[in-house]
Amino acid sequence: MPTLPHTQINAERLHTRIQELAQIGRIGETGVCRLALSKEDREGVELVKSWMEEAGMEAFIDPFANLVGVKRGSQPEAPVLMLGSHIDSQPYGGRYDGAIGVLGAIEVVQRLSEQGFSHAGDIEVVAFCDEEGCRFNKGLFGVRGMTGKLEADELDRADKNGLTRREALIQFGCDPAGFEGYSFREGRIGAFLELHIEQGPVLESLDEPIGIVTGISGPLWLTVELTGFAGHAGSVPMSMRHDALLGSAKIIVALNELVQRNPGAPTVGTVGSLAVFPDSRNIIPEKVSFTVDLRDIDLMRRNALEAELLSVIENVSMEHGLTYTIREDTNSEPRYCAEWIKETLREEAKEMGVTPPELMSGPFHDSLTMSYVCDYGMIFVRCLEGISHNPKEYASPNDITLGTELLYRAARRIAALEGGFPL
């Protein structure tokens, strides 16, 4: 790691908090399970709320279960500088995904307060609810709620135990009735900054501790359900079967081949969840449901691949006598970081004696939704072997310190801008 001329954040305090939060929902030695709106999530929110208050912020939980901390400025009507990420996790996750963005942002505000930094607009730190989307099969819930972009059926989505998001919100302590009186005020937020581990191997391959994000790939999430006909595995001839699992397997293989057709493209496709009915070794599968996650920074290329995949599903279904349904769970276009924020990060990094490489993000983040209401920028922190969504996820204290220091310097510079944010 480069030697910093002067580190202004309190690195010891930051890393102590990272490790303390990691004990909530801990699995094994290094893993974390804090599913959105779970009791572990609530416990984590309460702990992080106490740190916001310790940092001099007013803290509250909004109707969408977002935790919000506010450092008041001298001009309440001026645009807000927002910092943050999320603290919910995957069921088999690590301690750095999302968490360093929230705790790093709190450290930024705490240092600004300790230094008596004055600013016009408010500075807000947000721990967004349910960024991951693994519990209710649709992510970015809190940030979409805050920005007025929820869909009609959001509260009726159920987890694997049949509990709806509405019920989970009520158990968490939020009242979904509060959604009705909420409306997002356009222009309220001037800029959003997010610190996050890379969740990929690029920075490590370049031997670089931090990077500046250029944009976020657009994720397309589909749920495909194929229906055939169940029968005895020993008596129905192969030529007479309507095997939904066999059809699903052909589609999954075809998806893998489609996304690898252009080796130089950053396209990725994943089937991460599959359910078989009736799920017996000697019954021909009648119904199979599986998820598709298709991502690309090039929307035209992604759309073309989606069309080919839909054609594959149609052809395979006809071949095996199956019917099918396709539900679109998420469809976001690629979103690019604001040039003026990237330039701010470049200049502040130069003052620190580092030149971070610039790279795109394959995973989506809360920044993806924020990009529709304000300019945004992201800082990536190197993670070991690119591992994430896994207890082996690891980012070194030195790298996290460097990323948080850049976040601090950029936030201080942006908050000090006179006459508002660049358009």
Under 8 Å between Cβ of 376 and 190: no
Q: Which DSSP helix (H) or strand (E) runs through 99?
A: helix 99-114
Tell me how crowded residue 46 is: count the other CB atoms within 10 A of its CB.
Answer: 12
Provide the 3-class DSSP secondary structure of residue 73. coil
Instruction: Output the pLDDT for position 2.
Output: 47
Instruction: Output the pLDDT for position 363.
Output: 87
Residue 31, beta-bridge partner list: 27
Cα Dmax for the chain = 80
Domain 218-331 sits in CATH 3.30.70.360: yes
Task: Please name the residues in contact with 84: beta carbons below 8 A apart, sequence gap of 6 or more.
Answer: 101, 102, 105, 124, 125, 126, 127, 128, 192, 194, 366
> What does the alpha-carbon distance between residue 292 and residue 258 come to, in Å, rounded to a whole number?
13
Instruction: Output the pLDDT for position 74.
Output: 93
Determine whether the annotation assigns residue 6 to a binding site: no
Determine whether the annotation assigns residue 97 to a binding site: yes
Domain ranges of the chain: 11-217+334-415, 218-331
Provide the 3-class DSSP secondary structure of residue 211. strand
Token pair in block for residue 201: 């191997």
Residue of 271, 277, 274 lying closest to 243 (CA atoms): 277
pTM for this model (two decimals) = 0.85
Q: Which DSSP helix (H) or strand (E) runs through 288?
A: strand 287-296
Give the chain's end-to-end CA distance (angstroms, integer).
35
> What does the alpha-carbon distance between residue 362 and residue 246 come to, in Å, rounded to a whole number?
30
Residue type, 57: M
Determine whether the annotation assigns residue 339 to a binding site: no
Place of tokens 């009735």: 177
SS3 helix, strand, coil % of the chain, rounded to 5? 35, 25, 40
Determine whether the annotation assigns residue 196 to a binding site: yes
Instruction: Output the pLDDT for position 1.
Output: 43
Same fold, 11-217+334-415 and 218-331: no
List, run by run, the mean pLDDT of 10-residue segments along the chain (423 residues): 69 98 96 98 98 98 97 94 98 97 98 95 97 93 96 92 97 91 91 97 97 93 97 97 98 98 92 97 98 94 97 98 95 93 98 95 93 97 96 97 98 86 72
Task: Please name the residues in contact with 206: beta carbons below 8 A apart, sequence gap of 6 or more.
Answer: 357
Place of tokens 């149609």: 314
Place of tokens 């991502």: 295
Q: Which DSSP helix (H) or strand (E) runs through 61?
A: strand 58-61
Q: Where in 186-258 does DSSP place strands (E)?
A: 189-197, 210-216, 218-227
Token pair in block for residue 34: 């804090």
> What does the alpha-carbon distance between residue 175 and residue 265 come to, in Å, rounded to a whole number?
44
Which CATH architecture describes the domain 11-217+334-415?
A: 3-Layer(aba) Sandwich (3.40)
Under 8 Å between Cβ of 326 and 313: yes
Instruction: Output the pLDDT for position 244.
Output: 98
Determine whether the annotation assigns residue 389 to a binding site: yes
